């Protein structure tokens, strides 16, 4: 990554050849006065350099940079929900086991991030006024108010043994390469609450779907051909390792419904998604302006992440 040059505000005065202060005139008192004619004893102060017409923008961080900070630092040797806003692991930590996940990572542009933060903040304020005083926790910001990456899951949270972890990511990569899927773009549609029994939490999610209306082999019943194919291949690899697949309820007769399941989580709550909470959510996200702006959001998919323990592997998808 190229460095950005910055000009110095001042230069050091040259010293004598012998390093002494000989030849340096004694300090003089600054003249006193008022108005623009005032100047120091060494002459008028130089006027500041005009700002460049177009300030050089820093280049974006490469995706591999985010992989360096893919997980938080463990502050305890055992699972402690008090350190994680009361959350508990779906798969309790066992020494020698590696919690793993396959997903698509998304870093929303600043304008989209600001929009989502504004809407979630409004929902948080209104949810607290409900009869049940619902606490909604944002997934958009870290504890230090830094933007958080979001994701679309292609697997459940699974667990690998030390003997399995080295081959798992390679098999996932081979499966994705064999799909022939090129980079694609997703659009956001509705905002809904989704309850998961495994985590005991309700998630506020953005549903996502494909943007192209016609591709070879597509049907009108599946607006998410890329995601459903990636999920099928990832589930096949996960099954080889004795782990449950994602969206297994959509197997068999319900396979046509799986395209509706893909989403980006933006907030969560321990509370059940009651009708009261749904009405408040619709009031915030269903207003015409907010709804229209959300439907304009696009999610580029150029790679798949495989996270094993605290290490994330990036599998790039070929460009079309």
What one-character DSSP code corresponds to residue 35? S
Which residue's structure tokens are 């130089």? 46
Question: Rounded to whole angstroms, what are the CA distances from 126 to 119, 162, 204, 314?
Answer: 11, 46, 15, 39
263 belongs to the catalytic site: yes
66 belongs to the catalytic site: no
Within the chain, strands assigned E span 97-106, 137-138, 150-153, 158-161, 184-196, 201-210, 263-269, 298-301, 303-308, 311-316
For the chain, the distance separating the N- and C-terminal CA atoms, rounded to the nearest angstrom, is: 26
Dump the DSSP string for 240-259.
Answer: HTT-PPTTGGGSGGGGGGGG
**Strands 263-269 and 201-210, how do they pair?**
antiparallel
Contact assessment for residue 104 and residue 116, using Cβ atoms and an 8 Å cutoff: no
Catalytic residue among 93, 113, 209, 263: 263
Catalytic residues: 151, 263
């Amino acid at each position: 990554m190229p460095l950005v040059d910055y000009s110095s505000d001042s230069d050091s005065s040259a010293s004598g050849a012998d390093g002494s202060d000989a030849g340096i005139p004694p300090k003089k008192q600054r003249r006193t006065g008022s108005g623009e004619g005032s100047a120091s004893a060494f002459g008028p102060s130089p006027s500041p350099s005009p700002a460049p017409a177009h300030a050089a923008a820093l280049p974006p961080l490469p995706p591999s940079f985010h992989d360096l900070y893919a997980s938080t630092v463990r502050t305890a040797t055992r699972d402690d929900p008090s350190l994680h806003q009361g959350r508990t692991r779906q798969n309790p930590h066992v020494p020698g086991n590696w919690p793993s996940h396959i997903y698509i990572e998304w870093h929303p542009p600043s304008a989209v991030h600001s929009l989502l933060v504004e809407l979630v903040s409004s929902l948080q304020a209104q949810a607290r006024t409900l009869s049940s005083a619902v606490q909604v926790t944002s997934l958009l910001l870290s504890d230090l108010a830094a933007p958080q990456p979001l994701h679309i899951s292609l697997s459940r949270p699974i667990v690998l043994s030390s003997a399995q972890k080295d081959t798992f990511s390679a098999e996932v990569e081979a499966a994705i390469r064999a799909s022939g899927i090129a980079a694609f773009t997703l659009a956001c549609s509705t905002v809904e609450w989704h309850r998961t029994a495994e985590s005991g939490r309700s998630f506020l999610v953005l549903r996502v779907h494909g943007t192209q209306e016609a591709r070879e082999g597509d049907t009108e019943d599946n607006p998410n051909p890329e995601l459903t194919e990636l999920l099928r291949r990832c589930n096949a690899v996960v099954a080889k390792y004795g782990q449950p697949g994602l969206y297994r309820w959509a197997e068999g007769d319900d396979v046509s419904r799986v395209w509706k399941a893909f989403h980006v989580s933006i907030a969560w709550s321990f509370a059940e998604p009651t009708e009261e909470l749904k009405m408040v959510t619709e009031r915030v996200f269903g207003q015409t302006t907010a709804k229209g702006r959300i439907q304009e959001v696009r999610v580029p998919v150029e790679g798949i992440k495989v996270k094993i323990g605290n290490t994330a592997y990036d599998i790039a998808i070929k460009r079309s």
